[in-house]
Amino acid sequence: MYKWIMPVLLIIACLFGVYLLADGLPEKPKEEKLAEGVEALKITATNFEFNETEYHVKAGTTYAISLTNKLGNHGAEIVGTDINLTKDNPKAEYTFDAPGEYEIHCSVLCGQGHSGMIAKIIVE
C-alpha cells in the first residue's frame, strides 16, 4: 500500500545531501592585484622541502612574499630580515636593498626532515 514512500524519502534525502554539499563550498580564490612596482615571491612548502632551492630576486625591488603549505605545517623564516611567515601570518612585503644571499629555513618544528628544509633567496 505505501511502497512508494521509501523511494521518495530516499530521493529527497539524496537531493538534500547534494544541496548541503554544494551550498557549503568556499569561493574560488581571487588573484590578488599587487601595487605598482611590487612583484610576487611565492614560497610553497611541502613535506620537508620548499618548491625551489633558490629564489632569484632583483635588488631594490619590493616583493610581496607569501607562504603556502601544500602538505604539512611549515613556516619560512628569512635569515637577516624580520620576516617569519607561518600559517597565521602567510604574507609580508620586503625590499631587498643589496645584492647577496638570504637563507630561508622552516621556522615550525615539522618533523624528522625539518633541519634539511632550507632554500636561498639570491638578490642580483
Instruction: Among 9-13, 22-26, 114-118, name the one with the lowest average pLDDT.
Output: 22-26
For the segment 69-104, what is each residue's pLDDT rounded down to a tens digit? 888 888 899 998 888 998 888 898 999 888 899 999
Q: Which residues contact 9 (CB under 8 A, 6 or more apart)?
A: none
The reported pLDDT for the residue numbered 56 is 93
- Options 3.40.50.2000, 3.90.1150.10, 2.60.40.420, 1.10.3210.10; CATH for 38-123 is 2.60.40.420
Higher pLDDT, 118 or 34: 118
For the segment 38-50, what is each residue's pLDDT rounded down to a tens digit? 888 899 988 888 8
The reported pLDDT for the residue numbered 72 is 81
Alpha helices in 1-122 (DSSP H): 5-23
24 pLDDT higher than 80: no
Q: Which residues contact 66 (CB under 8 A, 6 or more apart)?
A: 40, 41, 42, 43, 85, 90, 91
Burial class of 84 by CB neighbour count within 10 A (0 to 12, 13 to 18, 19+) = middle
If one counts every other C-beta atom within 10 angstroms of the C-beta of residue 108, the result is: 19
Burial class of 21 by CB neighbour count within 10 A (0 to 12, 13 to 18, 19+) = exposed
The reported pLDDT for the residue numbered 1 is 65
The reported pLDDT for the residue numbered 11 is 94
